Amino acid sequence: MENIELINRKTTNLEPHQLVWVSSNNEHVSAESLRSIVDYTRLFDNINECRSFIDQTFNTTTFIVCSQAFAQHFISQIDDLKNIYLIYIYTSDQNTDTMAISSCKKV
């Protein structure tokens, strides 16, 4: 029997939450692998496009994963948004200076 997808899960969120990953280099992660954590997942490599998407989905609880490269500039833009629940900083450098973003309450 043929499996027919009635709803495009890549563009339609049926859940009250979402995961947004924003990084200048998304080659190490795929939306499919992240969907095992949160089914509706979007990847962005542009801060402005990501911010626009977050603004459009203001009724959805949003978890952000942000690369260290974008963190300082981007987090200050979104930290006060009501739909942002938590912001995670993704970095492979254990010695990263987080002083500039430590004042953000959702990080």
Q: What is the DSSP letter of 4?
A: -
| Distance in angstroms (rounded) separating the CA atoms of residues 24 and 83 | 23
* Model confidence pLDDT, tens digit, residues 89-99: 888 776 655 55
Better-predicted residue by pLDDT, 25 or 46: 46
What domains are there in the chain, each with its CATH number? 17-25+32-101 (3.40.50)
H/E run at residue 56: helix 47-56
User: Which pLDDT belongs to residue 31?
Assistant: 79
End-to-end CA distance of the chain: 46
* Model confidence pLDDT, tens digit, residues 54-64: 999 999 999 99
Percent of the chain predicted with pLDDT > 70: 85
- Which residues have a Cβ under 8 Å from the Cβ of 53 and sit 6 or more positions away? 20, 42, 44
Closest listed residue to residue 102, CA positions, set 89, 92, 90: 89
